[in-house]
Amino acid sequence: MHKVVLIGAGRIGHIHARNAALHPRIELAGVVDAVDASAQALAREWNTAVTTLDAAMADPTVTGVIVASSTDTHLDYSLRAAAAGKMIFCEKPIDQDLGRARTAHAGLSGANMLLAFNRRFDPNFQALKARLDSGAVGAIETLQITSNDPAPPPPSYIAVSGGLFKDMAIHDFDMARWLLGEEPVLVYATGSCLVDPAIGELGDVDTARTVLRTGSGRLCVISNSRRSGFGYDQRVEAFASAGMVRADNVSESTVQLWSESGIATDRFQNFFLDRYAEAYRREMDHFAAMLDGAPAQVGYADGVAALALAEAADESMRTGAPVQL
């Protein structure tokens, strides 16, 4: 059993706490949170202790930490954990500032670190990736990624999110790199505020389209919106030289009603914690494998690369010009 301490008792911390506590090779050895009541409640739920960051870092029996605290702490806590020789599971993004993230290269480039881009662990997207890698439809040429939230978050969230590209589309930038198999060298993005005027008042957009181009000419179009109107919309289409591979939305059930008026199906899952529940479980399973000695499938360098694309997209949107990387 590997002893792991969770830092952050918020919404995503609850998901990771459950998956860690129920994992057969992980012992959830403690919870850290700036709000004591939150830490106490989560610790009671999983029969573990409330501890401090200093105590967790100093405890030689703790081999791993899960950084699920606020984004502005991700980089600092990861650096502390790396210096203490801990295995790191860090939520995305690595930071909201690309320059600051890059300065951590010396401390994190060689660290045993999992950067939690959970969509890489979704079984549907993993199956799509496997089909592409097998060559079943030839060489990939273009990619279409659609990522629309059911409804916009409150303005209070937007104000500290880092913006649509760093908070929301960053998942899609990582997916694009992973599926294309090479790095984008050009980014063009445009965006509008079409969903909630309050988001625009905060200087952000709620709707965006981004085009990525790789050195070999492969193209990716990423479509983002803070509102779909029909559930959590998560689709990928990969077009290749001999066909196409598609991963579609996930419904709440596979039940269909057939009648004279047509076919009615169940609605799409409406919340990211439902849609990606299995991805979060597989993500924790991969962290357990890392604690056993396996290499990370996605780490610090991937976090920096996705953040670079997010900053380039933001620059392109604001200047109206493509950005070379």
pLDDT at 271 over 90: no
SS3 content of the chain, % helix, strand, coil (to 5): 40, 25, 35
If you average pLDDT over residues 161-169, what whole number do you get? 96
DSSP 298: S
Q: What is the CA 260 to chain-centroid distance, rounded?
A: 42
pLDDT at 274 over 90: no
Check residue 237 and give its pLDDT: 98
pTM of the entire predicted model: 0.95
Q: Could you tell me which residues come within 8 angstroms of residue 288 by beta carbon, excluding any fewer than 6 positions away?
A: 2, 23, 25, 26
d(C-alpha 36, C-alpha 33), whole Å:
6
If you average pLDDT over residues 134-140, what whole number do you get? 96
- The predicted-structure confidence for 303-312, as pLDDT tens digits, reads as follows 999 999 999 9
- The predicted-structure confidence for 177-223, as pLDDT tens digits, reads as follows 999 999 999 999 999 999 999 999 999 999 999 999 999 999 999 99
- The predicted-structure confidence for 44-74, as pLDDT tens digits, reads as follows 999 999 999 999 999 999 999 999 999 999 9
Check residue 101 and give its pLDDT: 97
Token digits of residue 139: 């060489």
Number of neighbouring beta carbons within 10 Å of residue 12 = 18
Check residue 39 and give its pLDDT: 97
